[in-house]
Structure 1
Amino acid sequence: MGQTEKIKVERLNLHYGTNQALYDIEMNIPENSICALIGPSGCGKSTFLRTLNRMNDLIEGVKITGEVKVDGRNIYSPDTDVVSLRKRVGMVFQRPNPFPMSIFDNVAYGPRIHGTKKKAVLNEIVERSLKQAALWDEVKDRLHKSALGLSGGQQQRLCIARLLAVEPDVLLMDEPTSALDPISTLKVEELTQNLKERYTIIIVTHNMQQAARISDYTSFFLNGYLVETDKTDKMFTAPGDQRTEDYITGRFG
């Protein structure tokens, strides 16, 4: 594929207090690709996802060793500015979490915090982000109405627009469609396909079909270990490890 490496993870271990949750994770994620993280509940997928923008720092008693490099720089080095890291590596959560304010103010929130004040510039950012999130046509006539009036699927796309407004490089998605109906799920899946032209996307999913449909690479986690990672079509047709095959074919999980 010859793609540039966007994220390189080396010897990553994570403990919650005395309990180890990730063991020696090694992974490379190419730029402008979608990487799906699969595996049974409690296997470390979401924990791993949160190590990529240091969200686990917010949890008491977490200890992390190893390196996570984004564009060649270790994000765990002491001189990392975590605020700017989270601007570059943004997160979309399982349940849509729009702020209780207007649609416009939701999207303008990040740029305003980072110092953008001009109305014309904010208008431009809001329109561009909503278009990128495939939501503009549905909301352009009610930008100043509450975001809480949107449907669940629209709220999730709004949260994606809110993320895009601060111009990240990497989008982390933690089961972004698990709370959505099938039609909204399809819209978010289509959206990820369009977004990977500009961004690198890592998505946690419990839905095997979703991983097969949208991702370029799939990584299978089990009990805190990364069992294997490969191109998605190969993982789903000829996985290298029997445990991966057992999970994908529904023998456990």
Structure 2
Amino acid sequence: MTRFSSAKCCLEISDLSLAYDGKPALRKLSLQVPRHRVTAFIGPSGCGKSTLLRAINRLHDLNESVTQQGCIRLEGEDIHAPYLEVAELRRRVGMVFQTPNPFPMSIYENVAFGLRLQGRLPKRKRDDIVEWALESAALWHEVKDRLHSSAWSLSGGQQQRLVIARTLAVQPDVLLLDEPASALDPISTLKIEELIRNLKSQLTLVLVTHNMQQAARVSDYTAFLQAGELVEHGPTDSVFTNPRLQRTENYITGRLA
């Protein structure tokens, strides 16, 4: 496991095991995610990538069939600590899913939604944050003249960037991306990839992808999972060009499905 000093580590996962109805999905997994970098999770379908992402966001909490052991720390804090409310965790750790899910309201209100939940803000301040979030998501110049149009009038790629803007508006520490471009056309995919590269100056990103080329293009670190285990983790260039383990090489070269 690649290790980082506490000053550079944003997320630390220690001996994490998770099972559905007693069937293991993650097995004693330990991993550090560095701050202000892009970390990609790769591996075959069913290997635990999305399960791990959801565990970081505590999306398994209400699933009675899930049992979990181990620890996940965000900036040194246990995310299951009694004093840390789930709503506050999810403000600090935003998540974007495979299929865009804009709310049935205007473009502006989508981005302002989380701000309104947090409390009253002067309209000018709210307007400034909405513009900043849309700028950060590389969407402002495409929608600035129709902020009060329905979010559903946007293209699929624009909707995904809108969802990212909505997440950024509450200023999270971490952005989790679960195959955010898999349902998009190639041009929209390139825009999402450029956005991911640009956002790491603002926050830490964790990306789940089946697209090996995408992981190689946008990530700084790559973690290869197989059957719920962490097989290899390190700088993306090293993992892809000089993997330490044969299992990793077999997967990257297509000899392991």
Other-structure match for 2:247: 243
Other-structure match for 1:119: 123
158-167 or 109-118, which deviates more: 109-118
Distance 2:167 2:51 in 1: 20
Distance 1:56 1:242 in 2: 33
Q: CA deviation at 1:117?
A: 3.7
- Residue type of the alignment partner of 1:206: H
Distance 1:65 1:48 in 2: 12
Q: Given the two structures, how large is their TM-score scaled by the length of structure 1?
A: 0.98
Other-structure match for 1:62: 66
Deviations 1:30-63 (A, max 9, x none): 1000000000001000000111111111323211
Per the alignment, in what secondary structure is the counterpart of residue 67 of structure 2?
strand
Contact 2:22-2:67 within 8 A present in 1 as well: no
Contact 1:36-1:202 within 8 A present in 2 as well: yes
Note the residue ranges of structure 2 that are not aligned, 5 or more in a row: none
Other-structure match for 1:141: 145
- Residue type of the alignment partner of 2:124: A
Distance 1:76 1:235 in 2: 31
Distance 2:82 2:62 in 1: 16
**Alignment partner of 1:252 is 2:256:** yes
- Residue type of the alignment partner of 2:196: T
Other-structure match for 2:226: 222
Q: Which of 35, 38, 43 is residue 39 of structure 1 equivalent to?
A: 43
After the TM superposition, which parts of structure 1 deviate over 3 Å for at least 4 consecutive aligned residues?
Answer: none
Per the alignment, in what secondary structure is the counterpart of residue 176 of structure 1?
coil
Per the alignment, in what secondary structure is the counterpart of residue 205 of structure 2?
strand
**Alignment partner of 1:87 is 2:77:** no
**Alignment partner of 1:199 is 2:198:** no
Per the alignment, in what secondary structure is the counterpart of residue 160 of structure 1?
helix
Q: Which of 148, 155, 160 is residue 159 of structure 2 equivalent to?
A: 155
206-215 or 69-78, which deviates more: 69-78
Task: Count matched residues.
Answer: 253
Identity of aligned residues (%): 57
Q: CA deviation at 1:79?
A: 2.6
Distance 1:198 1:4 in 2: 14
Q: CA deviation at 1:118?
A: 2.2
Other-structure match for 2:237: 233
Q: Given the two structures, how large is their TM-score scaled by the length of structure 2?
A: 0.96
**Alignment partner of 1:53 is 2:57:** yes
Contact 2:37-2:204 within 8 A present in 1 as well: yes
Q: CA RMSD in A?
A: 1.1
Which runs of structure 2 are paired with 1:166-181 in the superposition (5 Å)?
166-181=170-185
- Residue type of the alignment partner of 1:78: P
Other-structure match for 1:186: 190
